[in-house]
Chains A and B, each alone.
Chain A
Amino acid sequence: MSMFAKQGGKSRTGRLPSLVPESVAAIQMGIALFALLAWETVARLFRTDFWTSSPSNVMVELWRWAASGLLTSDLQLTLTEAGLGFLIGSAVGGLIGFILGWNRLLGNLFEPFILSFYTLPKIALAPLFVLWFGIGITNKVMFSGMLVFFMVFFTTYQGTRQVDRDLVENARLLGAQPWDIWTKIALPYSAVWVFTGIRIGLPYALIGAIVGEFVAAEAGVGFRIKEATSFFNTAAVFAGLIILMVISIILLGILKFVESRALGWQSAKGSIQPETQT
């Protein structure tokens, strides 16, 4: 069986043989297995498991975490924090970005303030949020929401500002009332940018929740990682990281699915030509 797809004479994209998808997946699995194996080997051979732990130790730790029932409650808490923060941040960021992006006057008015916030490393606000919202769930939701807000807001604002003003004028000539301009042109146009912002902002929801838990918390995946570090339990730290990785991958998958549904036109491919008339 050949790993390479058969190249038809029609291909115009050079001579590089392309891999068939199944072989790509197989190779990727191979790489992952090799990495795990190398990790385990190094940990055992050089006794580095105090610093690096090892896949087997991490698995044991994951099992223990799950068996204690804490994994479920930690996951629930962290996902709630990140999820609520994500929803609030996206909604508010998308809305304000949309309004300031479309309304030139307001946009110009607020631009210097927006820019001064843009450069601020938002993570630095975490301690302040503890002061404002305590060490409970509100603090993490607000912090995660704030991070997401800025990502979605900036992307939507900048994208929406680029709209072709002639397009709007053309719509007015076609008979569009202000309401039509908002609903039939501005909103769909901005949707692309809101989605782009959401895609960039999604990981920040999780970052916000985790950082919030690092700073002050009593439970959650981030809290567990910090706790394990203070007990020098490297395996538990890695267990926490793996959980975070799995969450992010699942979230991105969901987002891609939603996006392909909402913005189906973007994936329309190929060019359609009329049959040539002679």
Chain B
Amino acid sequence: MGMTALTMPPLPAHDDRETVIDFQGVVARFGGLHAMGPTSLTVKRGEFLAIVGPSGCGKSTLLNMVAGTLKPSEGTVRYKGELVDRINHNVGYITQKNFCLPWRTVEANVRLPLEFRKHPKAETAARVAAALEKVGLKGFEQAYPKQLSGGMLQRVMIARTLAYSPDLYLMDEPFGSLDAQLRTRMHGELLKLWQETGATFVFVTHDLHEAITLADRVVVMSKRPGRPKLVVDIDLARPRDVIDVQSDPAFSAYFKRLWTALDVH
């Protein structure tokens, strides 16, 4: 069944879900360097999209444009139909960098966005507790970041995002610095989270396994200037088991196809 999805042009007849992100001919130039685009791409509500490509192809640039921290040199980015022209507070942005404030406990770090957003106190405590519970950090509320391992710090970052329940999660190689076993475990947890929140996820990685395991759709970017080169729907059953899915024959077929498009030398 997975194989037919490969041989047939993967075009759903229609998708009436709301468009969350809409890139229209966006281009990124840094000084004289033409880094990315023109790129046109839409992401639907509740979708899990993965973007893969060689380094420097502008994968992260796309995320920055949605977050509103970078303006496109040309073209437009819309979030739920609205032009992104300032910081977009509806997104949760998670990178492999740890942005914990070292002088705050785990709990106080997770509370940070709620303090910024002036959430009422009572609701804040409940949200923080729920977020910590969800990422398996219950019992570590009073620990300081320097006492935690890389995997746990990443969980704090995820909990901090969960706490204000954004509609859109932007993830830039969030598990890039974790070892393979931990990474696989985090994949499982992330998929569970995605299913529970019903939020839209855009996940940038250069790891094809990661992309196929997680995503509904994988976009392969070309070398610089990066443009979408191939878009593949990943028609693997949901909910996915992050281990079992890798032994699915369709998985390796997707892998080969994406690998060829990635054109790694």
Binding site for B on A (CB under 8 A): 166-167, 169-177, 180, 184-185, 188, 191, 263, 265-266, 268-274
Contact = CB atoms under 8 A, between A and B. Distances in A.
Nearest to A174: B113
B149 A166 contact: no
Interface string B122-150: 00000000000000100010011011110
B112 interface: yes
B3 interface: no
**Listed residue (A177, A263, A269, A272) with the most chain B CB atoms within 10 angstroms of its CB:** A272
A57 to B, nearest CB: 51
A174 B101 CA distance: 13
Contact of B116 (A174, A268, A270): A174
A166 B101 contact: no
Contacts of B146: 265, 268
B97 A175 contact: no
B116 A177 contact: yes
Nearest to B87: A172
Contacts, number: 69
- Most B CB atoms within 10 A — which of A171, A176, A180, A265? A265
A180 B115 CA distance: 9
A268 B67 CA distance: 34
Given A175-B116, A175-B117, A170 B148 contact: no
B149 A273 contact: yes
Contact of B97 (A166, A191, A274): A166
A171 B147 CA distance: 22
Contacts of B62: none
B147 A272 contact: yes
B99 A166 contact: yes
A166 B69 CA distance: 11
Interface string B94-105: 000101011111
B175 interface: no
A38 B90 CA distance: 74
B87 A173 contact: yes
A175 B148 CA distance: 25
A274 B136 contact: yes
B204 interface: no
Contacts of B91: 173
Contacts of B87: 172-173
19 contacts: A167-B99, A170-B93, A173-B87, A173-B88, A174-B116, A180-B116, A184-B101, A184-B112, A188-B101, A188-B103, A263-B103, A265-B102, A265-B103, A265-B146, A268-B146, A268-B147, A270-B147, A272-B140, A274-B136
Contact of A272 (B69, B116, B143): B143
Contact of A174 (B143, B147, B160): B160
Interface residues of B, number: 30
Contacts of B149: 271, 273
A185 B116 contact: no
Nearest to A275: B139
Contacts of B152: 272-274
A241 to B, nearest CB: 39
Contacts of A272: 140, 143, 147-148, 152
A265 to B, nearest CB: 5
A185 B112 CA distance: 10
A7 to B, nearest CB: 26
Interface in B73-93: 87-89, 91, 93
Interface string B37-77: 00000000000000000000000000000010100000000
B99 A268 contact: no
Contacts of A191: 103
B164 interface: yes
B116 A171 contact: yes
Contacts of A184: 101, 112, 115-116
A170 B147 contact: no
Contacts of B140: 272, 274
A174 B136 contact: no
B89 to A, nearest CB: 5
A175 B113 contact: yes
A174 B102 CA distance: 17
B6 to A, nearest CB: 36
A175 B164 contact: yes
Given A173-B69, A188-B101, A265-B102, A271 B136 contact: no
A179 to B, nearest CB: 10
Nearest to A192: B103
Contact of B144 (A169, A180, A268, A273): A268
A191 to B, nearest CB: 8
A176 B89 CA distance: 10
Contact of B99 (A170, A180, A271): A170
Please list the 3 inter-chain residue pairs (A to B) with the smallest Cβ-Cβ separation, ordered nearest first. Answer: A175-B116, A174-B113, A268-B144
A167 B100 CA distance: 9
Contacts of A274: 136, 140, 152
